[in-house]
Amino acid sequence: MSRLPPPASAFDSVCSSRLLYSGRRGRHTMGVEPVEDLRGSLAFTTLTDVLQFLSTTGRTGELWVEGGPNQRASQVYFDHGSVYHAQEGTTTGIDALVEIISWVEGTFIFSTNKACPTVTIEVSLQNALVEAARRLDEHRREIAERDHKRAPQRLLSSFAESSEVLAAILTARDGSPLASANPDDTVKMEELGKGLKTLIETIDGLGGAHGCQPFGGF
């Protein structure tokens, strides 16, 4: 039965208490019989930590991961601690690594003596993880910005649906609509926007006459 070497880092100590080891044999690959020697759950660790552990301990084999929103399967291949290939569905390389390390739920199994089928990652694991983390942060920012832009529309739509108003509109200072809700299509939104522009100009004029500064908006 294959066992991992004695803990050599802080993460190794975590592994000894949180990961399960097994000597179950897997399927044959390239004439060599693979041996499953590490398995665990993402409930107790992160894939980034697992990848770094396999790298620092110089492992060769396949990390098989099942997780994500739809419990999809993915693979990451190591050769003497270096990562050479990652695949998630039809996606490979760094793009696949971005998806894989974003998973916070699932299970993983590492099997030794499984040959890497191809090379899609040609940088060190550390550089690959840095790039994957950068892309993941960028993707999250894009989602946050998109949600922020959609927030006024969602707010107005919710307000219109839960009240007896005929329509609701949010405009810029020039009267151009930023978001609108017109459930019954009974209000001419362009005319309403122009009316609000006139109202804003009137209020600014009255405020200016009394030494007040115009409201700059949000």
Contacts of 197 (CB under 8 A, 6+ apart): 171, 173, 174, 175
pLDDT in tens, 58-93: 999 999 999 887 888 999 999 999 999 999 999 999
List the chain pLDDT tens, one digit each, 218 residues.
333 443 444 444 344 334 444 343 333 344 455 566 789 999 899 999 999 999 999 999 999 999 887 888 999 999 999 999 999 999 999 999 988 988 889 999 999 978 899 999 999 999 988 888 888 888 788 787 777 777 766 776 776 666 666 667 666 666 666 666 665 555 565 666 666 667 777 777 776 666 776 655 54
Tell me the pLDDT tens digit for each residue of 41-59: 998 999 999 999 999 999 9
Taking the CA atoms of residue 148, residue 150, residue 151 and residue 152 in that order, the dihedral angle to the nearest 10 degrees is: 120
**Could you tell me the two tokens for 202?**
């009137």
Sheet bearing 35-41, strands edge to edge: 35-41, 106-112, 61-67, 72-79, 82-88, 91-92
Residue 106 φ then ψ, to 5°: 140, -170
Instruction: Return the C-alpha torsion angle 94, 98, 104, 110, nearest 10.
Output: 0
Q: What is the pTM of this model?
A: 0.57
- Torsions phi, psi of 90, nearest 5? -95, 0
